[in-house]
Amino acid sequence: MYTMQPATPAPSLPDIRDLAEQVRFTPDTGRIWVRDQRGVLLTASVYGALRHELIDRLGPAVVRELLSRIGYAEGGRDAEAARRLRPHVSYFDAFAVGPQVHALAGFGWSEIVHLHAEPETGAFAGEFLVHDSLEASTHVDAYGTSPEPVCWMQSGYASGFADQAVNARAEHAAEPVKRHLRRPDGAAELGLVGGGRRIFRL
């Protein structure tokens, strides 16, 4: 069992170099490798244009499910990789792989506000704030602020990572516990809150 008390500052995130070293560039062959998988670089404008086109053609409900599923699958893969990359560290340092890989990918950096996990039972509760969220920012640029959750890939990623990391059951929630989308000084933020034996998709 691991619990980070809400009233205390979050522990410092571990050195990120072990994760950064998993990204390799081989320009002579035109390839980028992320661990053992081939990757590709996309600018924010390309990601935003792709997301905008999908929403306009398919509608927000379909795109939300699509991006949530893609994020969920990637979060699960990263949680499995965390076990190999950090096999003999504290629970917090192993769990930090999720927010740190997300930051390396350029989606924004995460502040862990509260974290409680019981891998033996699957119980999980956590609160996270994603600063300078790419997904929120591209949505705001295209459609303006929204009263509804819009960071579908990021919340799906959090669900998939938590599901694999603590053996919790990631389920859809009809109404999220907490959500906010704001833009202080031009930076969009995303709030994620999970509880019970699930991580809520915001």
CB 106 within 8 A of CB 193: no
Q: What is the residue-averaged pLDDT of the chain?
A: 80
Half-sphere exposure (Cβ direction) of 139: Cα atoms closer than 13 Å: 26
H/E segment holding residue 137:
helix 134-143
Distance of alpha carbon 172 from alpha carbon 201, whole angstroms: 6
- The predicted pLDDT at position 183 comes to 44
Is the per-residue pLDDT at 162 higher than 70? yes
Burial letters 126-158, b for 16+ CB under 10 A, else e: bbbbbebbbbbbbbbeeeeeeeebbbbbbbbbb
Q: How many separate domains does the chain show?
A: 1
Whichever domain contains 71, its CATH number is 3.30.1380
Tally the residues of the chain: 202
Distance of alpha carbon 37 from alpha carbon 201, whole angstroms: 26
Range of the domain at 191: 2-199
Region 95-123: mean pLDDT is: 86
- The predicted pLDDT at position 8 comes to 59
- The predicted pLDDT at position 120 comes to 75
Kindly report whether the global pTM for this prediction surpasses the value 0.85: no
